[in-house]
Amino acid sequence: MTLLDPLLAEIRACRHCAEHLPLGPRPVVVATATARILIVGQAPGTKVHESGIPWNDRSGDTLRGWMAVDREVFYDPARIAIMPMGFCYPGRLDKGGDAPPRPECAPLWHDRLLEHLPNIELVILAGMYAQARYLGDRRQPTLTETVAAWRDYGPRDFPLPHPSWRSANLIKKNPWFEAELLPELRARVAVLAAQPSASS
């Protein structure tokens, strides 16, 4: 057992926001000290809530396609850590779509988790909530502009749109996404996911 294991157990037992969660708490997080890639997304959807497996939905299929990794690599915690902005399914908005991640979650857990992830070399920031926390004032006025400025945030931080159906329009209107951004993302992922870090 590592020092990370008790923290992960504490997170998975968290009930801090239980009264606000329509399906109840089921924190979803994946991390080991050897991981070199960290994915920071938004919050689990209903399919992920049901399975307990992060990115186990159509958005996950899209993200794996962008990264050019199969499920075996993607779900190898020795290579890739997954830490959403909210660990539990937050419910739906009245106007449709999932609610934002619970605001309490990242302040409670992210810094503590990052202390135990010393080998992270690439942080994939999928969506505006992750970018707001980790890029802060360095963000551009819109998500599209932030993603277009991806070179400015490297080599550690790599902003992406959230890989939902809503990103299709951004990709269609901006050919640089597939022509320039994805090849660079895939090249970095290929190197860092080739084998876990020797450190633990």
Q: Does a structural domain hold residue 90?
A: yes
Of 53, 40, 51, residue with least CA distance to 85: 40
pLDDT given at position 2: 72
CB atoms near residue 193 (< 10 Å): 21
For residue 126, the domain's CATH number is 3.40.470.10
Tokens matching residue 145: 């502009």
- What confidence category does residue 1 fall into, taking pLDDT thresholds of 50, 70 and 90? low
9 domain residue, yes or no: no
Residue 4 predicted with pLDDT over 70:
yes
Is 70 inside a domain boundary?
yes
pLDDT in tens, 86-133: 999 999 887 777 899 999 999 999 999 999 999 999 999 999 999 999
Print the domain residue range for 142. 27-192
Residue 200: pLDDT band with limits 50, 70, 90:
very low
Does residue 199 have a pLDDT over 80? Answer: no
Domain count, the chain: 1
* Position 84 in a domain: yes
- Distance from CA of residue 154 to its chain's centroid? 16
Q: Find where tokens 């779509």 sit.
A: 97
From its phi and psi, is residue 188 left (phi > 0), alpha (psi between -120 and 50) or beta? alpha
Phi, psi of 21 (to 5 degrees): -105, 115
Q: Is the per-residue pLDDT at 81 higher than 90?
A: yes
Q: Is residue 32 included in any domain, yes or no? A: yes
Residue 138 maps to a domain = yes
Kindly report whether the peptide bond that precedes residue 159 is cis, defined as omega within 30 degrees of 0. no
Q: What is the residue type of 139? A: R
Whether residue 179 lies inside any domain: the answer is yes
138-196 pLDDT, tens digit per residue, is: 999 999 999 999 999 989 999 999 998 889 999 999 999 999 999 999 999 999 998 66
Whether 149 is in a domain gets the answer yes
Span 22-55, pLDDT tens digits: 999 999 999 999 999 999 999 999 999 999 999 9
Task: Give this prediction's pTM.
Answer: 0.94
